[in-house]
Amino acid sequence: MHFEENTLEVLRALGLTHYGARAYYALTALGPSGAAALAEETGIPRSKIYEVLGRLVREGWATATDTRPLRYRPRDPREVLAARRESITAKVDGASRELSGMFDRAVEREPPNAWMVRGEENIVARVSDLMRRAREEVLFLGALYLPGELDALDRLVPEARKRGVKVRALVREGIATDRGEIILARRLAGLTPEVKVMYTPVIKFVIADQREIMIMFSLVTGEVADLTNALAIWMPRTEVAALMRSNFMLMWNSERLGLE
């Protein structure tokens, strides 16, 4: 007997086993049949055919006569499949409601993907961590640097470049702070050749490997940055980092490499 595989697949999806699907398919094609004939037509081993047919009867796919030998009759596939479809639809709807409720509750309590970093020591530690974990590139955009951070970069940038990490900076020549003037461009140019000077805002973006980003802020009064109250936001979000990198590269490609 030829079996239509698509139909067998549907029967299996509705809960029948491999042999059960073949047995029910054969019954609907042959009509009332005995176990021996069904085993021959379906290729189901004779040692298993009674077990397969008994399960079809128990699950409502077929009925058995009281005669000897037993003969099996398929139930109307329109009725059986409609009942199975309704049952599956009800189960799917119930599962959808349960899972949707859990999903919505999880989203509501999902922790934020941005963390506030306060204090020079903590900000320097976060920048240092980004530098140590970078494998491809670290991009610096902006003019807000802490003295301790620059001291750390004196060591971390050469180490990163030895690992093959590309380090680029778009930066001002220098910045006025509550602690005095800080030279930026020339100091960074001593660490990496890829430094470009432009009039950047008194903030800073650090983008690492297109997978995380840190944004640093401080209070600015008359172009003087208050480093005492500097804070940063760290986001390990690839989509945010990738978007900011695209902006960095747009500015990078529009500026001339090197210092005046």
Which two structure tokens, joined as six digits, stand for 87? 């049952």
Asked if 241 contacts 176 with a C-beta cutoff of 8 angstroms, the reply is: no
DSSP 8-class letter at 256: -
Question: How many residues appear in the chain?
Answer: 260
What is the DSSP annotation of 151-179?
Answer: HHHHHHHHHHHHTT-EEEEEE-SEEEETT
pTM, entire model:
0.58
Written as tens digits, the pLDDT of the chain (260 aa) is 889 999 999 999 898 999 999 999 999 999 999 999 999 999 999 999 999 999 999 999 999 988 888 899 999 999 999 998 898 889 988 998 888 888 777 655 555 688 999 999 999 999 999 999 999 999 999 999 999 999 999 999 999 999 999 999 999 999 999 999 999 999 999 999 999 999 888 999 999 999 999 999 999 998 899 998 899 999 998 989 999 999 999 999 986 655 55
Please give the domain boundaries of the chain with CATH numbers for all domains: 5-105 (1.10.10.10), 115-254 (3.30.870.10)
Asked if 39 contacts 22 with a C-beta cutoff of 8 angstroms, the reply is: no
